[in-house]
Chain A
Amino acid sequence: MIPANFDYITVKSLDEALSLLAKHKDDAKILAGGHSLLPAMKLRLMQPKVLIDIGKIKELSYIKEEGGQIHIGAMTTHFQIETSALLQKSCPLLPETATQLGDMQVRNKGTIGGSVAHADPAADWPAAVIAVGAEIVVIGPKGERAIKADDFFVDMLTTSLQPGDLVKEVRFAAPKGKTGQAYMKVRHPASGFAVVGIAVTLTVDGGKCSASGIGVTGVSSKPYRAKSVEAALKGSALDAKSLAAAASHASDGISDAISELYATGEYRKHLAEIYTRRALETAAGRAK
């Protein structure tokens, strides 16, 4: 499988990438790790005329904590996140998500920025970035702006990125207090993508849940925050019964669950409930 022809330009700075994007507009695509874009191009699902390779911009690859905020550069690979001592300590949900994503070779090359920008409905990162309440920092012709992960994913393969924009980093407040997190997925046996993926972060205060973030991927054409689950958890004692009751809301309001040969929409919604319960139980256990 060979992609259609394109012009290939390597850039060394963000400014250079932005000016090329402004020049070529919708004819151009940003190439990060290439592990979403190149497969789509090989299938001729995408045929950009120009590829702007940002792989050589080293300053887009970082994981750092500053003033209570964790910043992850767009070109940070899944492997770097999986093995980050900083994240393993302060937000283990992200390494746990990374280690279940694709396979070793894919994690070596694929990037978090590329994955969120591609917005595959079965990708793993969307659930995690929604759960931690992340913002996607975007840089475009008018400068920099931050988009809440909840608003970033618009539809299948569609984000709120505008022409000329590129993803610069993912940032979020470092979890504080007594927290427990978990990512659990039903892995598609052939592709490894999430049939259903549930990311959970819980904050516990005095034995009760004071705050939570639940991100769901795979179920619908866009990842979502399970707000009814979060509402049910607020102030709850995190015992098995209350966790199961909260999890029963995992697909509330979802009318467009993805149905295909491997899993029907009803089955996905069922899995979402089961895996939300399991992820909640695991996260609650870790918070103790």
Chain B
Amino acid sequence: MKKISVTVNGTTHQSEIEPRLLLVHYLRDVLGLTGTHVGCETSLCGACTVMVDGQAVKSCTVLAAQADGSTVTTIEGLAAGGTLHPVQQAFWEHHGLQCGYCTPGMIMATAQILQRNPDPSEEEIRHGIEGNLCRCTGYQHIVQAVQCAAKKMKSQPAPANR
């Protein structure tokens, strides 16, 4: 067993875990944060995307032990005080989802794309979400949601720590 200390959505957790525990299972099964989804389990679909120290990663391909000492943001940590993050709001407004399974990962990936490039072209958006699979929408509404989120974030920047 290994002791880890991970700050998730602003709360620091001390846990004793098996070294082979994947970060996604740590978040879901140990901390009860089931917003992060388990999809393909093979680092392809992106449903498990979370931020670790500000970098979007696929949490099915990261050991919880590797996150020791890190700061993690999951979909649950994106909204600030009951107000949706602009990316969440944009996905809502543009219906950037159907079944919703890919949505938490898609939103976390979008947050990273816009953090690095506040004004992405459609091509840059599609390249950015390449690691997130959606089997419902055909991506069109997702791309529109990202474009809308970019506009929103220009006029109302997200809190600095998100």
A38 to B64, CA, bound (A): 12
Taking a contact as CB atoms under 8 Å apart, the answer to whether A53 and B65 are in contact is yes
A7 within 8 A of B: yes
Knowing A105-B49, A108-B56 touch, does A34 contact B131 (C-beta < 8 A)?
no
Taking a contact as CB atoms under 8 Å apart, the answer to whether A103 and B131 are in contact is yes
A255 within 8 A of B: no
Knowing A38-B63, A104-B130 touch, does A1 contact B113 (C-beta < 8 A)?
no
Taking a contact as CB atoms under 8 Å apart, the answer to whether B131 and A106 are in contact is yes
Q: CB within 8 A of B42: which of A1, A2, A103, A108?
A: A1
> Could you say which residues of chain A place their CB within 8 Å of the CB of B20?
2-6
Question: How many whole Å from B25's CB to the nearest CB in chain A?
Answer: 8
Q: CB within 8 A of B61: which of A6, A38, A104, A191?
A: A38
B44 within 8 A of A: yes
Taking a contact as CB atoms under 8 Å apart, the answer to whether B65 and A105 are in contact is no
A267 to B129, CA, bound (A): 29
> Could you say which residues of chain B place their CB within 8 Å of the CB of A106?
43, 58, 61, 131
A22 to B19, CA, bound (A): 21
> Could you say which residues of chain B place their CB within 8 Å of the CB of A55?
66
Q: CB within 8 A of A105: which of B2, B18, B42, B46?
A: B46
Q: Mark B112-151, 1 if CB is under 8 A from A, else 0.
A: 1100000000000001111110000000000000000000
Knowing A34-B66, A104-B112 touch, does A8 contact B56 (C-beta < 8 A)?
no
> Could you say which residues of chain B place their CB within 8 Å of the CB of A4?
20
Knowing A34-B66, A105-B58, A106-B43 touch, does A5 contact B131 (C-beta < 8 A)?
no
A53 to B4, CA, bound (A): 14
A42 to B129, CA, bound (A): 24
A192 to B58, CA, bound (A): 15
Knowing A42-B41, A51-B19 touch, does A104 contact B65 (C-beta < 8 A)?
no
Question: How many whole Å from B4's CB to the nearest CB in chain A?
Answer: 10
Question: How many whole Å from A100's CB to the nearest CB in chain B?
Answer: 10
Taking a contact as CB atoms under 8 Å apart, the answer to whether A108 and B43 are in contact is no
B57 within 8 A of A: yes
Question: How many whole Å from B58's CB to the nearest CB in chain A?
Answer: 5
Taking a contact as CB atoms under 8 Å apart, the answer to whether B61 and A35 are in contact is yes
Question: How many whole Å from A96's CB to the nearest CB in chain B?
Answer: 13
A6 to B61, CA, bound (A): 16
Taking a contact as CB atoms under 8 Å apart, the answer to whether B41 and A190 are in contact is no
A102 within 8 A of B: yes
Knowing A5-B20, A7-B19, A38-B63 touch, does A105 contact B41 (C-beta < 8 A)?
no
Considering only residues 25-42 of chain B, those with a C-beta below 8 Å from chain A are 41-42
Q: Which of B2, B58, B112 has the most CB of A within 10 A?
A: B58
Name 16 interchain pairs, CB-CB below 8 A, sorted by A: A1-B42, A31-B63, A31-B66, A34-B61, A53-B65, A55-B66, A103-B131, A104-B109, A105-B56, A105-B109, A106-B58, A106-B61, A106-B131, A108-B57, A109-B58, A192-B130
Residues of chain B at the chain A interface (Cβ within 8 Å): 2, 18-20, 22, 41-44, 46, 49, 55-58, 61-63, 65-66, 68, 109, 112-113, 127-132
